[in-house]
Amino acid sequence: MERDLIKATVKGFSRVLILWLLSGKALSGYALSKELKRLTGWSFHPGVVYPLLYELEENGFIRGEWREKGRKRIKYYSTTEEGVKLLNRVKELLGAPVKEVLKDLMSQP
């Protein structure tokens, strides 16, 4: 039960984490997966990450751009103006009362 709750929380927050990470710089799906693991301690399987990227791209919150890297083509993702607006709305939501709850949760031993 405990592991399931933690996993559901991380999974539910993954879209916001992806938008936040991509707002800093363009990343490939592989680099994004590594950053998600670094931040959360959880491994994000490509079967989870790429569908989220495709969903966010389809809804206009991120854009993908193919780049040549030697003999490989790698798709890099970055936030769009709509993605930045959405991220700002989420930040507002996490502002006042929710921020206090999160601070309290974070201060628990």
Span 41-97, pLDDT tens digits: 888 888 889 999 999 999 999 999 999 989 999 999 999 999 999 999 988 887 766
Cα 47 to chain centroid distance, Å, stands at: 15
Task: Decide which of 21 and 4 is more confident.
Answer: 21
User: Domains of the chain by range and CATH?
Assistant: 2-107 (1.10.10.10)
Span 83-104, pLDDT tens digits: 999 999 988 887 766 666 666 7
Buried b (16+ CB within 10 A) or exposed e, 6-32: eeeebeeebbebbbbbbeeebbbbeeb
Tell me, what's the pLDDT at 32?
95
Tell me, what's the pLDDT at 106?
63
Tell me, what's the pLDDT at 108?
59
